[in-house]
Structure 1
Amino acid sequence: MTFSLVARCAETGMFGVAISSSSPAVAARCAFARAGVGAVASQNVTDPSLGPQVLDLLQRGASADDAIGQISQRGKFMEYRQLLAVDREGRTAIHSGPNSLGIWTQASATDVASGGNLLANDGVPQAIVDGFRSSTGHLGDRLIAAMRAGLAAGGEAGPVHSAGMMIVDKVSWPVADLRCDWTADCPIEALAELWEIYQPQLEAYVQRAIDPRHAPSYGVPGDE
């Protein structure tokens, strides 16, 4: 019921996850990222505990392949799970259990991995990877471009209703954690519109957290 990607920006070191599904609020359960460590998507009969477990292993120095391998061996009901990871070196790894739903497949390259289940066809993850690799600009722009490419390639077998995007940078919290938790229209386009609004303000929100004395004005009545 899901297609997603995890990615690293080789220029900035940012990590990001983007995901869409026919299920509600997919990003709340499936998207995980940690600054300086990596990004993980945990999907298909989702176990949200797997994302932090993979990130903990990456933080302790495991490669993406080692981390996914360890979790695939010790996790419960891994035959039902899909796990995608990218590490600080841009290495990627994917576990897709044989009981993943419907048409399921995966694709990867340096700095990006994509996987999906209940897909319209088995070319969707490769289209997502290609969309990411051929795009430019901010990591958020590239994540949106990749998800649009996956949707154009067929996306899920049925209509998608939720989407989300998480980006981490140099601070301990996500610098962007944007979601469309349910819509009868296209959630990826709703997410793209939200990103267009949020991106120009992203650095200001970070600065306000670090030192509000030197932050841009808030643009509210009484602000000078």
Structure 2
Amino acid sequence: MTFSLLARCPTTGRFGMVISSSSPAVAARCAHARAGVGVAATQNITDPALGPRLLDLMQAGATAPQAMAQVVAEAPHVDYRQLLCVDAQGRTACHSGAQTLGVWALAEGPGVVAGGNLLANPTVPQAMVAGFAAAAGDFGDRLVAALQAGAAAGGEAGPVQSAGLLMVDRESWPVASLRADWSDAATPIQEVARAWAVYAPQMAAYVQRARDPRAAPSYGVPGDE
């Protein structure tokens, strides 16, 4: 049903994740990140409340493994959940309950964790971690490369129809939140990659406009000087 990768950038301190699914609007329910705190995914049979709960615990001082252990101990129906998180120090944690659907797998690397369910094969998360590690470019470029690597390794057992990229930096809001919520052509990963290619060169300008529009670049609209 879903495959995702979560990471912390050791150079910038940004957190981000990419995700794709046969379900509509997967990023709206499953992707959660908080600047300076971490990133969390709640997938499989999703309880969206568990992503913010993991982030709250990490913000309060828990490590990623500690936060995960507490959520797994306390959350109802946790056997149906697949959870992943990365904390501010790049520590990772993951959980797949006994009721995780179909072929599922998890993989971890330095500052990065990937997981999926109803996969075409169990190598997909490790392929995503390897794709992220091998990719060049900006943090967002590496996230997109990881998502593409997961798809190339087989991805989900059925056609994927939604995808997303979420990234936080120093602001209280996401500096990037790109989504393809439903694609009849089964090309949401390509749509997110294309959106990132357009948005990435402009991202810093949008952040500057929020911080101080007086010092921001021109808006690039008719009549703007």
* TM-score > 0.5, shorter chain as reference: yes
Letter in structure 2 aligned against 1:50: L
- Report the CA distance between 1:11 and its aligned residue: 0.5
- Report the CA distance between 1:138 and its aligned residue: 1.1
Query: For 1:142 and 1:118, how far apart are their aligned partners in 2?
Result: 24
Aligned-CA RMSD value? 0.7
Aligned to 1:164, what secondary structure does the other structure show? strand
Aligned to 1:203, what secondary structure does the other structure show? helix
- Report the CA distance between 1:133 and its aligned residue: 1.0
- Report the CA distance between 1:184 and its aligned residue: 2.2
Other-structure match for 1:96: 96
Residues 1-37 of structure 1 deviation map (CA, whole Å, 9 limit, x = unaligned): 0000110101110000110000000000000000111
Other-structure match for 1:200: 201
**Residue 78 (structure 2) pairs with residue 78 (structure 1):** yes
**Residue 111 (structure 2) pairs with residue 117 (structure 1):** no
Query: For 1:118 and 1:36, how far apart are their aligned partners in 2?
Result: 32
Aligned to 1:201, what secondary structure does the other structure show? helix
Other-structure match for 1:138: 138
How many aligned residue pairs are there?
Answer: 224
Other-structure match for 2:218: 217
- Report the CA distance between 1:221 and its aligned residue: 2.2
- Output aligned runs, 1:1-224, within 5 Å: 1-185=1-185, 186-224=187-225
Aligned to 2:220, what secondary structure does the other structure show? coil
Aligned to 2:155, what secondary structure does the other structure show? coil
Query: For 1:136 and 1:39, how far apart are their aligned partners in 2?
Result: 22
Query: For 2:29 and 2:46, how far apart are their aligned partners in 1?
Result: 7
- Report the CA distance between 1:223 and its aligned residue: 1.4
Aligned to 2:166, what secondary structure does the other structure show? strand
Identify unmatched segments of 5+ residues in structure 1.
none
Identify unmatched segments of 5+ residues in structure 2.
none
Residues 159-204 of structure 1 deviation map (CA, whole Å, 9 limit, x = unaligned): 0000001000011000000000011231111100000011111001
Query: For 2:73 and 2:155, how far apart are their aligned partners in 1?
Result: 30
Letter in structure 2 aligned against 1:88: A
Letter in structure 1 aligned against 2:92: T
- Quick check: 129-138 or 79-88, which moved more? 129-138
Query: For 1:88 and 1:23, how far apart are their aligned partners in 2?
Result: 30
Letter in structure 2 aligned against 1:211: D
Aligned to 2:116, what secondary structure does the other structure show? strand
Aligned to 1:200, what secondary structure does the other structure show? helix
What TM-score do you get using the length of structure 2 for normalisation?
A: 0.98
